[in-house]
């Protein structure tokens, strides 16, 4: 009988009867895994890992989103700036009844413009010139000078105000931001840093720049007239260049406004930092490229 045996019949226990739990007495712990209010160790660790991932994602995404949002907000600080009378910029307009190859067709003017913010200080080139400079005749090798002059004269005589436009070009190189300079000899802009080259409209003709020079909104207004903000937003305050170029009205003024970027097809895009293309495959990786 077990009662007669030392240790209550338990061969593994010494020094008295075994009083601990027995397998027959074991009651399993209740399973709370389906109870959302009960925090198991596994659930606790999962929550910690989830929160940590969220913090890491926020650390990466917040600066990127801020970068994307801040630029448009900053653009709104730009305002129209009066840079002078129209006659200072709309120089050498058509017609050209007796032009020679040395006749000035339009004009490029340089001036410094301070914007409302410290990073808006810029020098711009105001270009009153041909919409398509490639139409200008060039002498062919061996061509008789008199023949070329006659060809040039016929071409210039056919020009009208509709062949011209007015641009404001920012002198910030689109490669890494060095100041470019206009070269009258080559009728283009050159960058001293890495040899970037642009034509008179700021389109890239050589070197590393990934896009043309940025431009600045420009318009001619008659300051003696007033317009509502809606009319101004619709451009109804703008004096047509064909009128402004031949007018002696002292109230005609040239204003420059918000900068923007363009691609080689002269499509407009929101202002981008130097070094970034604004169209094409690489532009989709901006600002990671």
Residues that bind ligand FES (CB under 6 A): 173, 175-176, 178, 191, 193-196, 207-209
Q: How far apart are CA 221 and CA 86, in angstroms?
A: 9
Nearest to 250 by CA among 280, 209, 220: 220
Q: Closest CB to ligand FES among 175 and 253?
A: 175
We find the least distance from the C-beta atom of residue 125 to ligand FES, in angstroms, to be 15
Report the nearest approach of ligand FES to the CB of residue 178 (Å): 4
The residue among 124 and 156 lying less far from ligand FES, judged by its C-beta, is: 124
Contact 263, 269 (CB under 8 A): yes
| Residue closer to ligand FES (CB basis): 153 or 200 | 200
Q: How far is the CB of 96 from ligand FES (least distance, A)?
A: 34
Decide: residue 107, CB within 10 A, 0-12 exposed, 13-18 middle, 19+ buried: middle
Q: Which is nearer to ligand FES, 193 or 242 (CB)?
A: 193
Our CB check for ligand FES shows the closer of 131 and 194 to be 194
Of the two residues 164 and 182, which places its CB atom closer to ligand FES in the complex? 182
CB of residue 208 to ligand FES, shortest distance in Å: 5
Q: How far is the CB of 209 from ligand FES (least distance, A)?
A: 6
Torsion of CA 275, 278, 282, 284, to 10 degrees: 120
- CA–CA separation, 227 and 245 (whole Å): 22
CB of 266 to ligand FES, least distance (A): 20
Choose between 177 and 287: whose C-beta lies nearer to ligand FES.
Answer: 177
Question: Taking the complex as a whole, how short is the minimal distance between the CB of residue 189 and ligand FES, in angstroms?
Answer: 10
């Amino acid at each position: 009988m077990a009662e007669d045996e030392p240790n209550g019949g338990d061969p593994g226990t010494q020094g008295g009867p075994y009083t601990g739990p027995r397998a027959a007495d074991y009651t399993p712990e209740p399973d709370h895994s389906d109870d959302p209010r009960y925090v198991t160790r596994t659930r606790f660790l999962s929550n910690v890992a989830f929160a940590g991932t969220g913090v890491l994602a926020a650390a990466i995404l917040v600066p990127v989103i801020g970068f994307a949002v801040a630029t448009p907000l900053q653009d709104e600080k730009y305002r129209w700036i009066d840079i002078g009378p129209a006659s200072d910029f709309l120089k050498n307009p058509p017609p050209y009844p007796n032009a020679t190859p040395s006749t000035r067709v339009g004009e490029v003017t340089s001036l410094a413009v301070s914007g409302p913010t410290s990073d808006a200080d810029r020098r711009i080139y105001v270009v009153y010139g041909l919409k398509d400079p490639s139409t200008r005749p060039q002498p062919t090798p061996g061509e008789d000078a008199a023949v070329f002059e006659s060809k040039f004269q016929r071409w210039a005589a056919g020009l009208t105000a509709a062949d011209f436009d007015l641009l404001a070009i920012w002198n910030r190189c689109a490669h890494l931001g060095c100041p470019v300079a206009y070269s009258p000899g080559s009728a283009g802009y050159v960058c001293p840093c890495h040899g970037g080259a642009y034509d008179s409209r700021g389109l890239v003709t050589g070197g590393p720049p990934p896009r043309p020079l940025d431009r600045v909104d420009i318009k001619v207004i008659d300051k003696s007239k007033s317009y509502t903000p809606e009319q101004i937003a619709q451009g109804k305050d703008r004096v047509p260049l064909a009128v402004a170029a031949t007018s002696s009205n002292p109230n005609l003024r040239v204003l420059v406004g918000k900068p923007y970027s363009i691609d080689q097809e002269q499509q407009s895009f929101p202002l981008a930092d130097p070094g970034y293309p604004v169209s094409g495959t690489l532009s989709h990786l901006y600002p990671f490229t």
